[in-house]
Structure 1
Amino acid sequence: MDSLTTEQILDAHLDDWRKLAQALHARYLTGDFAAGLRFVTAVGAAAEGANHHPDVTLTYPHVDLKLISHDAGALTQRDVDLARRISEIAREQGVAADPHAVAEIELALDTADLAAVGPFWAALLTGSTDALHGSDVVDPKGRLPLLWFQDTDHHRTPRQRFHVDLWLPHDIAESRIAAAVAAGGTVVDNDNAPSFVVLADPEGNRSCVCTCLDR
């Protein structure tokens, strides 16, 4: 099945869901464990019927879901269709969504030699170099955040090599950046906004606030 562009995902108007780094994410406020279990059971039945399965995290006050077509390595119409069905289930059960609560951390490492450092980090983090997919280390068991290798030039002077990419819903990124600046941060580079904005803390440590837009 063909992968969908970010524009196609946004045009689908999946109000409960937000696209972050790669997948669709949603949080449903079930309120207690029993209600969450009922919701997850209904979602599981829908997933079995569609032969397409989300990642599900059930906690006492809420349920988190993640959708991506692993065989395509991208979002496809299967994800859109199942997201819509899950939203219908939530409405049927009176469960509210909180799309602005979703977020995702990605670690980024500057490197001029991916072929040299990529296998090391894959083996260290997951136990196998097979976890290196292109410029990413992907933990097949879902225990670790994504590690992305950012291509850079060779350099001798010390500089920050690791930084945190914070993926946020596209419709709250600006307010989060403003909050970080009000708390003492600085906007270092916004030339690529709204795709990403580089921030620095008062000591110069950098982070990128990333969204799915303009990618």
Structure 2
Amino acid sequence: MEQLTLAQILDAGLDDWRKLARALHARYLTGDFVTGLRFVTAVTEAAEAANHHPDVTLTYPAVDLALLSHDVGRLTQRDVDLARRISEIAAAQGIAADPAGPALVELALDSADIRPQSRFWSALLTGSADNVDPDEGDVIDPTGQVPLLWFQRTDAHETPRQRFHLDLWVPHDVAEERIAAAVAAGGAVVDDTERPSFVVLADPEGNRVCVCTCLDRG
């Protein structure tokens, strides 16, 4: 399956959906558990018909979905097609989307020697040292219980410094609002040279976080 470009995804007219790190994400405001379950049941039927299945989280007020062609590790036309079908189901059931709602947290760790680090953290976080992306060394929990951990290559160093930081992925059209809210709450912009791809913020004690979007990522 051919990987879709970001331009193709943004031009697909998926008003309910936003691309975060890898997948398409959507949140639907079902309002109660029974409505949510009815919606998920209809989505299940559509997914079975398409032989393509989203990740689904059903909570009392909302249903969160993520779409990615897991067999090829990227977004393809079948993700766009199923996203469009799910939006149709939501509209038919009178369920509103919350496009600003999706968010995704990833962990980033500076490392001079990624492979030993990745096996350690994979064993600790997932129970197996083998849940490591063979190309990038990312630790990916197949159960989705812990955030993805990726490694930022750095030179070896002995001086104490911050080694971990959070990556917060948000919809590209709400990133500036989220950054402004964090600054108003006492944070500071440390580096915005890569905006809109990411902006580095610091909390009042200097701990850093990257606010990431899908834009301008080559």
The answer to whether TM tops 0.5 is yes
Compare 204-213 and 115-124 and name the one that shifted more. Answer: 115-124
**Equivalent in 170, 173, 176 of residue 172 of structure 2:** 170
- Give the stretch that moved more between structures: 122-131 or 75-84: 122-131
Quote the offset at 1:130 in angstroms: 1.7
Write the deviation string for residues 14-71 of structure 1: whole angstroms up to 9, x where unpaired: 1000111111111111111111111111100000000000011111111111111100
Tell me the secondary structure at the aligned position of residue 166 of structure 1.
strand
Deviation larger for 80-89 or 111-120: 111-120
Distance 2:5 2:109 in 1: 26
Q: Is the deviation greater in 29-38 or in 165-174?
A: 29-38
Counterparts of 2:182 and 2:19, CA distance in 1: 22
Within a 5 Å distance, the mapping from 1:1-215 to structure 2 comes to 1-133=1-133, 134-215=136-217
Q: How much does 1:135 deviate? A: 2.9
Aligned equivalents of 2:80 and 2:17: distance in 1? 10
Distance in 2 (alpha carbons) for counterparts of 1:67 and 1:158: 40
Could you tell me which amino acid in structure 1 is paired with residue 206 of structure 2? G
Q: Which amino acid aligns with 2:92?
A: E
SS in 2 for 1:176: helix
**Structure whose residues are more often helix by fraction:** 1
Gaps of 5+ in 2: none
Query: 2:160 aligns to what SS in structure 1?
Result: coil
Between the aligned partners of 2:157 and 2:46, the Cα distance in structure 1 is: 52
User: Helix, strand or coil for the counterpart of 2:89?
Assistant: helix
Quote how far apart the aligned CAs of 1:140 are.
Answer: 0.6
Distance of 2:19 and 2:147 partners within structure 1? 16
State how far apart, in whole Å, the 1-side matches of 2:149 and 2:4 are: 23
With 46-55 and 133-142 compared, the bigger mean Cα shift is at 133-142
Q: In the TM superposition, what is the alpha-carbon distance from 1:129 to its structure 2 partner?
A: 2.1
Amino acid at match of 1:36: G
Aligned residues: 215
Percent identity between the aligned chains? 74
Partner Cα separation in structure 1 for residue 123 and residue 3 of structure 2: 29
Root-mean-square deviation over aligned CA pairs: 0.9
SS in 1 for 2:100: helix
Contact preservation (8 Å) 2:109, 2:163: yes
C-alpha distance in 1 between matches for 2:120 and 2:60 = 38
In structure 1, the gaps of 5 or more residues are: none
**Distance in 2 separating the partners of 1:169 and 1:147:** 20
Secondary structure class of the residue paired with 2:200: strand
Amino acid of the structure 2 residue aligned with 1:6: L
